[in-house]
A and B are shown apart, each in its own frame.
Chain A
Amino acid sequence: MKLKILMLCCIMFLGAVSAGLAQGNIDTSSQTTTPTISPPASPGNLRAKDTPNDNGHSITLSWDLSSDDGSGNKSVLGYKIFRSTNRDSGFVERGVSPSGSKEYVDLGGASAEENDYMPNNSDYYYKLRAITADSMIFAEMAIFGPIQTTGQWYNTSRTLILLFVLLFTSLMVYFIVKARKGANLFVRKLAGIEAVDVAIGRATEMGKPILYVLGLGTAADIATIASFTILGRVAKKVAEYQTGLIVPCNDPIVMTVAQETVRASYLDAGRPEAYKENMVYFATSMQFPYVAAVNGTMLRELPATNIYMGKFYAESLLLAETGALAGSIQIAGTDEVAQIPFFVVACDYTLIGEELYAASAYLGREPVLLGSLKAQDYAKAAIIVLAIIGMIAANFHWNNFTEIFHITN
Chain B
Amino acid sequence: MSGSRPWGKIILFSSIALFVISWLIKAGVLSSTGGVTDISVRDAFFVTLAAFLTLAILSFLYKDNPYYKFAEHLFVGVSAAYWMCVGFWSTFVGNFIPRVSSTLSGFFGVPFKEFNVFYLIPLILGVMLLMRLSSKTGWIARWPLAFIVGTTAGLNLIRYLRSDFVNQVSNTFVPLLVEWKGIGPFFSGFSLSASGQFTLSLTNWVIFVGTFCGLVYFFFSKEHKGFYGGASRLGIWVLMVTFGASFGYTVMGRVSLLVGRLTFLFQDWLGLIS
Given A284-B80, A296-B72, verify A394-B145 contact (CB < 8 Å): no
Q: Nearest chain A CB to B223's CB is how many angstroms away?
A: 5
| Residue from the list A190, A222, A289, A296 in contact with B79, Cβ < 8 A | A289
Chain A residues whose CB sits within 8 angstroms of the CB of B83 once the complex forms: 284-286
Q: In the complex the two chains form, what is the Cα distance from A49 to B75 in whole Å?
A: 56
Q: Are B182 and A397 in contact (CB under 8 A)?
A: yes
| Residue from the list A222, A353, A384 in contact with B212, Cβ < 8 A | A384
| Residue from the list A225, A282, A296 in contact with B153, Cβ < 8 A | A225
Q: Are A390 and B170 in contact (CB under 8 A)?
A: yes
| Residue from the list B75, B78, B79, B239 in contact with A352, Cβ < 8 A | B239
Chain B residues whose CB sits within 8 angstroms of the CB of A6 once the complex forms: none
Which of the candidate stretches A8-16, A77-85, A157-165, A236-244 sits at the interface with the other chain?
A157-165
| Residue from the list B114, B162, B172 in contact with A158, Cβ < 8 A | B162
Q: In the complex the two chains form, what is the Cα distance from A386 to B166 in whole Å?
A: 10
Given A340-B243, A390-B169, A406-B170, verify A219-B145 contact (CB < 8 Å): yes
Report which residue of B76, B132, B223 has the largest number of chain A beta carbons within 10 angstroms of its beta carbon: B76
Q: Are A289 and B75 in contact (CB under 8 A)?
A: yes
Report which residue of A158, A257, A295, A391 has the largest number of chain B beta carbons within 10 angstroms of its beta carbon: A391
Q: Nearest chain A CB to B257's CB is how many angstroms away?
A: 9
Which of the candidate stretches B9-17, B20-28, B29-37, B214-222 sits at the interface with the other chain?
B214-222
Given A112-B114, A341-B250, A387-B172, verify A296-B162 contact (CB < 8 Å): no
Chain A residues whose CB sits within 8 angstroms of the CB of B173 once the complex forms: 387, 390-391, 393-394, 402, 405
**Number of chain A residues close to chain B: CB under 8 A:** 73
Which of the candidate stretches B38-46, B63-71, B102-110 sits at the interface with the other chain?
B63-71
Chain B residues whose CB sits within 8 angstroms of the CB of A374 once the complex forms: 221
Instruction: Please give me the residue from chain B that is nearest to A257 by CB atom.
Output: B145
Is B57 among interface residues, defined by CB-CB distance under 8 A? Answer: yes
Is B123 among interface residues, defined by CB-CB distance under 8 A? Answer: no
Interface class of chain B by DSSP: helix
Chain A residues whose CB sits within 8 angstroms of the CB of B237 once the complex forms: none
| Residue from the list A187, A225, A292 in contact with B149, Cβ < 8 A | A225
Instruction: Please give me the residue from chain B that is nearest to A316 by CB atom.
Output: B250
Given A296-B69, A338-B250, A391-B176, verify A407-B162 contact (CB < 8 Å): yes
Q: In the complex the two chains form, what is the Cα distance from A140 to B109 in whole Å?
A: 48
Q: Nearest chain A CB to B7's CB is how many angstroms away?
A: 21
Q: Are A383 and B177 in contact (CB under 8 A)?
A: no
Given A285-B80, A296-B69, verify A341-B244 contact (CB < 8 Å): yes
Q: In the complex the two chains form, what is the Cα distance from A98 to B112 in whole Å?
A: 41
Q: Are B166 and A407 in contact (CB under 8 A)?
A: yes
Instruction: Please give me the residue from chain A that is nearest to B216 by CB atom.
Output: A384
| Residue from the list B69, B169, B222, B240 in contact with A387, Cβ < 8 A | B169
> What are the interface flags for B152-177 relative to A under an 8 Å C-beta threshold, 1 for contact and 0 otherwise?
11011110111001110110111111
Q: Are B169 and A161 in contact (CB under 8 A)?
A: no
| Residue from the list A256, A284, A396 in contact with B182, Cβ < 8 A | A396
Given A257-B149, A296-B68, A391-B208, verify A222-B156 contact (CB < 8 Å): yes
Given A283-B76, A345-B247, verify A380-B174 contact (CB < 8 Å): no
**Number of chain B residues close to chain A: CB under 8 A:** 68
Is B187 among interface residues, defined by CB-CB distance under 8 A? Answer: no
Instruction: Please give me the residue from chain B that is nearest to A404 by CB atom.
Output: B170
Is B129 among interface residues, defined by CB-CB distance under 8 A? Answer: yes
Chain B residues whose CB sits within 8 angstroms of the CB of A160 once the complex forms: 166
Q: In the complex the two chains form, what is the Cα distance from A338 to B208 in whole Å?
A: 21
Q: Are A355 and B72 in contact (CB under 8 A)?
A: no
Given A284-B83, A373-B220, verify A293-B76 contact (CB < 8 Å): yes
Is B141 among interface residues, defined by CB-CB distance under 8 A? Answer: yes
Is A260 among interface residues, defined by CB-CB distance under 8 A? Answer: yes
Is A2 among interface residues, defined by CB-CB distance under 8 A? Answer: no
Chain B residues whose CB sits within 8 angstroms of the CB of A253 once the complex forms: 129, 145, 148
Is A194 among interface residues, defined by CB-CB distance under 8 A? Answer: no
Q: In the complex the two chains form, what is the Cα distance from A395 to B246 in whole Å?
A: 31
Chain B residues whose CB sits within 8 angstroms of the CB of A314 once the complex forms: 254
Is A358 among interface residues, defined by CB-CB distance under 8 A? Answer: yes
| Chain A, range 312-337, C-beta contacts under 8 Å to B | 314, 317, 337
Q: In the complex the two chains form, what is the Cα distance from A154 to B172 in whole Å?
A: 28
| Chain B, range 78-105, C-beta contacts under 8 Å to A | 78-80, 82-83
Q: Are A342 and B182 in contact (CB under 8 A)?
A: no
Q: Are B79 and A284 in contact (CB under 8 A)?
A: yes
A contacts, CB < 8 Å to B: 112-113, 158, 160-161, 164-165, 185-188, 190, 218-222, 225, 253, 256-257, 260, 282-286, 288-290, 292-293, 295-296, 299-300, 314, 317, 337-338, 340-342, 344-345, 352-355, 358, 362, 373-374, 376-377, 379-381, 383-384, 386-387, 390-391, 393-397, 402, 405-407
Q: Knowing that A165-B157, A188-B224, A341-B244 touch, tell me 14 more A-B residue pairs with CB under 8 angstroms.
A: A188-B220, A256-B129, A284-B80, A289-B75, A290-B76, A295-B60, A300-B64, A340-B243, A355-B218, A377-B221, A390-B173, A393-B173, A396-B182, A406-B170
11 inter-chain pairs at a CB distance below 8 angstroms, sorted by A residue, are A113-B114, A219-B149, A285-B80, A290-B76, A296-B68, A362-B220, A391-B175, A393-B173, A394-B173, A402-B173, A407-B162
